[in-house]
Structure 1
């Protein structure tokens, strides 16, 4: 390596701005130290992965994902035009960071586009007030106990999934889930213990969900999962895996392991469905699971 190359490497490694390179398939090939510091993701965690896999899950100011369909880096690789924008990057710890993004192409010696480069700057100090407003909005869409999306959030997400189905024919399914005998559990062990159960069930959903699926609390002990880009077989497999994981989990109370099970109704979106229709169908299937002895999944 020449001195010039060494100097170049040292400069980009010590930039205050995050910098990463991708190939034409948007697979990340380089990730500098500032990118690690700003995002919380080490180079080992992201190099070799596609940014289209929603590693950083960039969203716009309205919370819409831009990683698939509206990615400025993908657009620049396609047309060769540099772009600038502001987005919200997902930090490894879970929160959102506002970043100013500048993208350009990477070319070979003949001028052929072989990938792209993105430089991003943490602008959180500039956007602190706006972020506080966003957090307040977010709080209104989250269930206080479980920190899952609440009913309003779920209904909003369903509207997006119906629009996605209409525009791009992307299928989705619902898992309508209910904790079995939860009233008896509450009466036996108390509401505080019941709350702990609701939280561990919610954590089981979120810890085992695919990145593009959503699980929320519909109300009481009822939960709803919106499973994107899925067929009937996979919907059933995902639902059964969740059911088994909940059934094999427990909390400790007075030196005893306390278990619960869930019943599930699973259904795929159909032509001419509405939000009310698909939820009612999933709810009916859930009660068939209850009638079948609970701790099972009914597909329909």
Structure 2
């Protein structure tokens, strides 16, 4: 059994009987974990000593993100001292936490997910060092429950996945370039499938709704035949720009294939798709480009649907696609949503 040898200070016996040298306890660390659930205080100095000694980053948070503990390896990996972090909310510190697709970790923070579900959460993510460089980590967040089963703290264990630090702008540029459609400068289908899958996982864990938009340029084949493929390409490019113009900052769009586009719309409430439909109606009514002094106009058909409990990536995209075909049959307002069914 692991134990702390209180007579010899920082020497511990492991299961095999070998000696493990621990980091010396720094001033101020003795009381840093007082009051933490699970016996991190006076009743279990062994665990605290292990956390001080372990060669992986470790910190303890309250539900409001206040940092209770920050171990020496966390100091080494990220450059922030325990004194700088203790008592501060991690979300208020310049840690620059982001997912591996470079999007900021905000309302979908894995710590919030772990608190809400009471289950450990492991993910790969970037965190920003004090010197401004980003480092790729694997972070495991473990909720700690007291004797009443109430989660009051959360412990994070993180390790770098590479010895190299990353510049966030460079990583983002490489990622976007690798997934970008060269014509519209939007990401491609595979990127969107991953985004929808991630949004679906967040929905299952937190109930945060989202919607999928499916859009198709009407009579695109006829436009190509009449005005040429260069004009058709210009129209698709203009349509991609329009989607981003009428979408919100958090929304994502891709060129699904041919003249089809798919969007991921983040929502506060399912009813928000009614407002989204009004914004995108301007695209459905008219999208135009000028070619050799001639204005080429077209209409688009759009379907928008909110995620459901039994959805998969395939089912929600297929439903939005079905709504889009229903919209094509309309003479006016060629947008169909869940509220039109």
Q: After TM superposition, is the score higher than 0.5?
A: yes
Q: CA deviation at 1:152?
A: 0.5
Q: CA deviation at 1:149?
A: 1.5
Pair 298,230 (structure 1): closer, same or farther in 2 beyond 3 Å: farther
Q: CA deviation at 1:100?
A: 3.8
Looking at structure 2, the residues matched to 85 and 150 of structure 1 have their Cα atoms a distance apart, in angstroms, of 27
Looking at structure 2, the residues matched to 225 and 215 of structure 1 have their Cα atoms a distance apart, in angstroms, of 4
Name structure 1 gaps, 5 residues minimum: 1-51, 73-83, 88-97, 102-125
- Residue by residue over 1:16-43, the C-alpha shift from the partner in whole angstroms, topping out at 9 and shown as x without a partner, is xxxxxxxxxxxxxxxxxxxxxxxxxxxx
Aligned residue-pair number? 203
Q: Which has the higher helix share?
A: 1
Q: Judge conservation of contact 1:176–1:266 (CA < 8 Å) in 2.
A: yes
Name structure 2 gaps, 5 residues minimum: 1-90, 112-125, 135-164
Looking at structure 1, the residues matched to 99 and 319 of structure 2 have their Cα atoms a distance apart, in angstroms, of 33
Q: CA deviation at 1:207?
A: 2.1
Q: Judge conservation of contact 2:180–2:188 (CA < 8 Å) in 1.
A: yes
Matches within 5 A, 1:133-282: 135-245=173-283, 247-282=285-320
Q: CA deviation at 1:182?
A: 0.6
Q: Judge conservation of contact 1:236–1:297 (CA < 8 Å) in 2.
A: no
Looking at structure 2, the residues matched to 158 and 169 of structure 1 have their Cα atoms a distance apart, in angstroms, of 14
1:66 corresponds to which of 74, 93, 105 = 105
- Residue by residue over 1:190-216, the C-alpha shift from the partner in whole angstroms, topping out at 9 and shown as x without a partner, is 110100000111001112221111111
What is the root-mean-square deviation in Å for CA atoms of aligned residues?
3.4
Q: Judge conservation of contact 2:302–2:336 (CA < 8 Å) in 1.
A: yes
Matches within 5 A, 1:26-175: 59-60=98-99, 62-68=101-107, 70=109, 85-86=127-128, 99-100=132-133, 127=166, 135-175=173-213
Q: Counterpart of 1:266 in 2: which secondary structure?
A: strand
Pair 277,245 (structure 1): closer, same or farther in 2 beyond 3 Å: closer
Give the TM-score, by structure 1 length: 0.59
Q: Judge conservation of contact 1:201–1:246 (CA < 8 Å) in 2.
A: no
Q: Is 1:297 the counterpart of 2:330 in the alignment?
A: no
- Residue by residue over 1:57-76, the C-alpha shift from the partner in whole angstroms, topping out at 9 and shown as x without a partner, is 8635552422445499xxxx
Aligned to 2:51: none
Looking at structure 2, the residues matched to 274 and 71 of structure 1 have their Cα atoms a distance apart, in angstroms, of 22
